[in-house]
Structure 1
Amino acid sequence: MSKTASPILTASLPRNSASDASKPVTNTFFAQTALDESGDKGEFKRVDASWRNWVKKEPDAQFPAEKDRYHLFVAYACPWAHRTLMTRAVKGLDDTIAATVVHPIWQKTKPDQDEHSGWVFGNAEGEMLTNTEGNGGPFPSIFPHNEPEPFFGSQSIRELYEKAGDTDGKYSVPILWDKKRNTIVSNESSEIIRMLNSEFNDFAKNPDLDLYPIEMHVAIDKVNSWVYPTINNGVYRCGFAKSQEAYDTAITELTESFDRIADILQKQRFIAGNKFSEADIRLFVTLVRFDEVYTVYFKTNTRSVAHTPSILNYCREIYQMPGVKDTVNMEQIKAHYYCSHPILNHFSIVPRGPDFVDLLEQPHNRNNSLN
């Protein structure tokens, strides 16, 4: 994938003044996607999110919590965006923060300028699509629940970043957008879900649900510290590895952590204890994609959720919680992964798969036992 040198927002601490939000720190970098993020030994090295502001419930905050002020831009396909949709659903914030779902299959965002491919918005009037190499499909120009960008008529997520002054970055989802300031608040999913958990309780339908209770901070942070690198990001480290050494390291760590999860879930109801928490949301969004996508596409076939009873029942319980099912769109998940990276799947053939969602619909027995 060719690149053009240009500045990109870099990771930073949350900004403290209103003027800071429109003055990103810049480095020389390239417009890119995750496929470009590799180390010297072929290992996948994810670039940190760039926009790290915070919504706060205090009325004098730089970004105060308000109903109908903020908007989520997400992809059903993306696990990081899925975290925010799940948190929004279980907290009951659907009426407070609207969301726009992008098209699942990456397209070239500025074909007359460079080769960058990424998230685009659905277009009901558009022509049928292929992958960026002209193969696959043809795919519809809009999937169910995809919508146009509602504020500026942007054709791609890249254009939305450019509206906020980020002209050459990693144009990722989710985005928490401030409609009053017309800027990005955050594109770091782990921080967005904490904002949704704690800062909007005055508007939430389920304000008493605390996904990060103070008495569980240590346990949750500890789980996140190993689940993220070896499971959440671990599947990408396997799938995007560019050397056997890098893959072997990643798959070994993933397999060990998968077994660790299976063991934990035989002893306690949820991954950080006996209470549902943000750690479960972060884990579930990877596990729900595991059998249909990662075991095939990212070569994580040492293990299977469907063949691990403690993990399967855990996934069933979470999937059947109110609101969660509606955030899982396996059609768009598979369309994105199998059709957005021609270097990994040249003809964008979508495997039929085991119908993992049907397994999730079946009753779990965790009311009586953990297995």
Structure 2
Amino acid sequence: MSEPGTYVEPTFKRDTNYIETRITADGRDGFPVEAGRYRLVVSRACPWANRAIIVRRLLGLEDALSIGICGPTHDRRSWTFDLDPGHVDPVLRIPRIQDAYFARDPQYARGITVPAIVDVPTGAVVTNDFKQITIDLETEWAAFHREGAPDLYPEHLRAEIEEVSEPIYRFVNNGVYRCGFAGTQAAYDKAYLRLWRHLDVLEEHLSTRRYLVGDHITEADIRLFTTLVRFDTVYHGHFKCNRNKLIELPALWAYARDLFQTPGFGDTVDFTHIKAHYYVVHRDVNPTGIIPGGPDLTNWAEPHGRESLGGSPFGDGTPPGPPREVVPPEHNPVLALL
């Protein structure tokens, strides 16, 4: 239950049977967009939740949508609020996100996942559809976007964003898991070859353009970033995705640093939580639970030189202000170098 998915032999298969209820401006599913009504529950360790954290911050939704942050490790039941006093979320008054799923359906038998958005008055999960969550934050929540918020899902680029993102999800975002949780050599070999074939495609694509789609950051970049920022720290070794390190791929490495150094990206990254989650929770892969000391992270602060490719991070928009929810400095020492 690390991220949405199950361990299946011989090939890893992600559980995509999400709660698809949507929070929309017109409330057509019974949940209208309302400031203060909902709580976004995340873990900084999870790449799928990290997407929602970044989008919420870039759009300035902190006052409209509160956030509950689970700790990086959990048992088989669910993510827990062990970072909060008394190990209880101060708004939802529950120790586990599982409780909010059972408030929605006492017989809920699917994955207990983050990100999830909870209806505070009822204490029940509204949705855990991680892809739709960020799209809806970018579109349905527009009335609560900060002044100068970037358009992360421009209407004229949506088809291209999804076209670019689909193989990224299949071969990269999910591909690293297919490598890490493969139950046979054949399943691993297939996932490994597909992963690196597509990373090579992205390396070429990003060698001549600053962003994946258009001339500023979009939803597509956010989807790729959360995998890249975890690559050398966990996926390269822990998931055996070890043909190259990210730092050995010139365009992808510079692209990742460019995003990391952009307000709203690197300042949401908690390397300590990321390492604790993967190396402690995934005992099928790392039976000892030992967390490695490396890698050295200071290179994330090195100049990226991507400005020469044109474009700008926020287009006609502006950067977000300082983060409301601050990653402990010792969990991301790079930030002090920027």
Task: Please report the TM-score for the alignment, with normalisation by the length of structure 1.
Answer: 0.78
How far residue 330 of structure 1 moved from its aligned partner, in angstroms, is: 0.5
The code of the aligned residue for 1:67 comes to: A
RMSD: 2.2
What is residue 172 of structure 2 aligned with on the other side? 231
Q: Tell me the SS of whatever aligns to 2:225.
A: helix
What is residue 67 of structure 2 aligned with on the other side? 99
What is residue 345 of structure 1 aligned with on the other side? 286
CA distance in 1, matches of 2:181, 2:288: 18
Aligned partner of 2:193 among 252, 255, 258:
252
CA distance in 2, matches of 1:287, 1:35: 19
CA distance in 2, matches of 1:34, 1:185: 16
User: Is the contact made by 2:82 and 2:88 (CA closer than 8 Å) also made in structure 1?
Assistant: yes
User: Is the contact made by 2:5 and 2:13 (CA closer than 8 Å) also made in structure 1?
Assistant: no
> Among the aligned pairs, what percent are the same residue?
34
User: Is the contact made by 2:48 and 2:115 (CA closer than 8 Å) also made in structure 1?
Assistant: yes
Q: Which has the larger helix fraction? A: 2
**CA separation of 1:123/1:204 partners in 2, compared to 1, >3 Å: closer, same or farther?**
closer
How far residue 337 of structure 1 moved from its aligned partner, in angstroms, is: 0.3
What is residue 257 of structure 2 aligned with on the other side? 316
How far residue 304 of structure 1 moved from its aligned partner, in angstroms, is: 1.7
**Unpaired runs of at least 5, structure 1:** 1-30, 108-115, 127-146
CA distance in 1, matches of 2:161, 2:84: 42
Query: Equivalent residues in 2 for 1:3-82 (5 A)?
Result: 36-38=6-8, 42-58=10-26, 62-82=30-50
User: Is the contact made by 2:179 and 2:240 (CA closer than 8 Å) also made in structure 1?
Assistant: yes
What is residue 293 of structure 1 aligned with on the other side? 234
1:308-342 deviation per Cα after TM superposition (whole angstroms, max 9, x unaligned)? 12111111111122222221000000000000122
CA distance in 2, matches of 1:83, 1:49: 19
1:210-244 deviation per Cα after TM superposition (whole angstroms, max 9, x unaligned)? 11112112211111110001000000000011010
How far residue 269 of structure 1 moved from its aligned partner, in angstroms, is: 1.2
User: Is the contact made by 1:106 and 1:120 (CA closer than 8 Å) also made in structure 2?
Assistant: yes
Equivalenced residue count is 309
User: Is the contact made by 1:238 and 1:299 (CA closer than 8 Å) also made in structure 2?
Assistant: yes
Q: Tell me the SS of whatever aligns to 1:274.
A: coil
**CA separation of 1:206/1:359 partners in 2, compared to 1, >3 Å: closer, same or farther?**
farther
The code of the aligned residue for 1:330 comes to: F
User: Is the contact made by 1:177 and 1:185 (CA closer than 8 Å) also made in structure 2?
Assistant: yes
Q: State yes or no: 1:150 paired with 2:63.
A: no
| Range with bigger deviation, 253-262 or 55-64 | 55-64
Q: Tell me the SS of whatever aligns to 2:153.
A: coil
**CA separation of 1:275/1:235 partners in 2, compared to 1, >3 Å: closer, same or farther?**
same
Q: Tell me the SS of whatever aligns to 2:304.
A: coil
Which has the larger Rg? Answer: 1
What is residue 295 of structure 2 aligned with on the other side? 354
What is residue 266 of structure 1 aligned with on the other side? 207
Q: Tell me the SS of whatever aligns to 1:177.
A: strand
Aligned partner of 2:103 among 152, 156, 163:
163
What is residue 112 of structure 1 aligned with on the other side? none
How far residue 117 of structure 1 moved from its aligned partner, in angstroms, is: 4.3
Q: Tell me the SS of whatever aligns to 2:295.
A: coil
